[in-house]
């Protein structure tokens, strides 16, 4: 359930766009959401109280100075009224066997809040691509039937590639097809739930591998920015150039603090 921050009234989110990540390979969706929150200086308005995520608490990842006492937890909601934009950042994985309950909670909150559209940022294992996915762009998208009429043509005009279906039983039967997103966490199941519930949801994902996934996060935000302009571009208004993105201070220690000098 959504709980507003102390002293704040629950924000009215009707007709807002919601962006959220899937906890997936390389944490690309979460890193991309970090970039969006940091770049747009979004304000935290509450958090999602749930027992479906691994508990965690830490310092504010977007603090601009050392010593801020505010803590961050595993699922927080950020807000930008002038853009009619809300962002849910998820910082820990779903507990085993609680994926369905977590999805049901998300779907219920999305429907209750009456979001105009939901964008799920995700990733998938590059090494498990089908043959037809090996060529061309590493990005794919999916939209629910409820959203197809409103954005389907716009996405095709961008020459984006829709996620391909692959054989459900490769080598045995090629007639039965399915959507397969290995390493995508709840991506496919949340998409399926949204199709059933009539939610306007789009999935944007990138094929990638584990490692330094900061470049993948930058490219995924730029991919989103082609369709849903959130951030100004570096040179003029051309979508061919990268967007101006602000890296959170917490990323300085993304791979630890380095080797201690005492070792040498």
Output the six-digit token pair for 178. 């399915």
| Higher pLDDT pick, 11 / 56 | 56
Read off φ and ψ for residue 253, nearest 5 degrees: -115, 30
For 150-205, the pLDDT digits (tens) are 888 888 889 999 999 887 766 666 677 889 999 999 999 999 999 999 999 999 99
| Higher pLDDT pick, 14 / 167 | 14
Closest among 240, 259, 262, 246 to 64, alpha carbons compared: 246
- Model confidence at 258: pLDDT above 50: yes
Query: What pLDDT score does 244 carry?
Result: 83
Q: What's this model's pTM, rounded to 2 decimal places? A: 0.90
Q: How far apart are alpha carbons 257 and 154 in whole angstroms?
A: 44
Are 114 and 14 contacting, i.e. CB atoms less than 8 angstroms apart? yes
What fold characterizes domain 11-256? Rossmann fold (3.40.50)
CA 146 vs CA 142, 159, 196: distances in Å: 12, 21, 10
Residues near 140 by Cβ (< 8 Å), separated by ≥ 6?
Answer: 124, 133, 160, 161, 162, 163, 164, 204, 205, 206, 207
Query: What pLDDT score does 239 carry?
Result: 42
């Amino acid at each position: 359930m959504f709980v507003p921050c102390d002293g704040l009234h629950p924000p009215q989110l009707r007709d807002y766009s919601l962006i959220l990540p899937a906890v997936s390979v390389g944490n690309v969706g979460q890193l991309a959401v970090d970039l969006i929150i940091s770049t747009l200086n979004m304000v935290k308005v509450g958090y999602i109280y749930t027992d479906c995520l691994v508990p965690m608490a830490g310092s504010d990842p977007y603090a601009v100075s050392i010593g801020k006492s505010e803590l961050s937890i595993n699922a927080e909601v950020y807000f930008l009224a002038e853009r009619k934009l809300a962002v849910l950042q998820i910082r820990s994985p779903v507990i085993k066997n609680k994926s369905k309950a977590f999805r049901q909670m998300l779907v219920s909150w999305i429907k209750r809040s009456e979001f105009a559209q939901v964008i799920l940022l995700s990733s998938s294992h590059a090494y498990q691509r089908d043959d037809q996915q090996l060529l061309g762009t590493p990005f794919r998208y999916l939209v629910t039937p409820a959203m197809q009429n409103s954005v389907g043509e716009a996405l095709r005009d961008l020459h984006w590639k829709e996620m391909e279906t692959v054989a459900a039983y490769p080598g045995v039967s090629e007639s039965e097809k399915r959507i397969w997103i290995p390493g995508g966490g709840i991506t496919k199941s949340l998409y399926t739930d949204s199709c059933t519930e009539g939610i306007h949801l789009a999935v944007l994902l990138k094929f990638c591998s584990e490692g330094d996934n900061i470049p993948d996060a930058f490219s995924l935000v730029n991919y989103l920015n082609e369709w849903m302009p959130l951030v100004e571009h570096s040179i003029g208004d051309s979508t061919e150039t990268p967007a101006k993105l602000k890296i959170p201070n917490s990323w300085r220690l993304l791979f630890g603090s380095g080797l201690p000098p005492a070792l040498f």
